[in-house]
A = this chain, B = another copy of it.
Amino acid sequence: MSFYDKLKFDANGLIPAIVQEQKTGRVLMMAWMNRAALEKTIETGRTHFWSRSRRKFWMKGESSGHVQAVKDIAFDCDGDTLLIQVEQTGAACHEGYQSCFFRSVEKDGFKIAEPQLQTPEQIYGKK
């Protein structure tokens, strides 16, 4: 049986994909895939997603060079979420942090919980 038969894409044909750095266990980001993005991810060994806001297919790192080499793809009991283990080049977050989850809740606010490795200008150039 193909594992695709176990997956449930939502009404928009999308499934959320959690991306975890295999070496450190750090959860880096969450983004959405349609079936074509998942097929391309498997075919190329690089993560590909569907941007809901830009309505556009994209490869992680296509602008920044911060690509993700896929090491494992798991799916959950309900078949409606993916967990992808990767080797991350550079910062995963477009704001220059290792992980997009760089802010943690604190009483009455939040804190930045990890160092910024690069500024967006360093990653993408001045705009």
Contacts and interface: CB of A to CB of B under 8 A. Distances in A.
Nearest to A113: B74
Q: Chain A's interface: helix, strand, loop or mixed, by majority?
A: mixed
Q: What is the oligomeric copy number? A: 2
Contact of A27 (B42, B78, B83, B104): B83
Interface of A: 1-3, 6, 16, 18, 20, 24-27, 29-30, 42, 72-78, 81, 83, 93-95, 97, 100-105, 108-110, 113
27 contacts: A2-B108, A2-B109, A3-B103, A3-B110, A6-B103, A16-B16, A16-B30, A18-B18, A18-B27, A20-B27, A25-B26, A27-B83, A29-B76, A30-B76, A30-B81, A72-B104, A72-B105, A73-B104, A74-B102, A74-B104, A74-B113, A75-B103, A75-B105, A76-B93, A77-B93, A77-B97, A83-B101
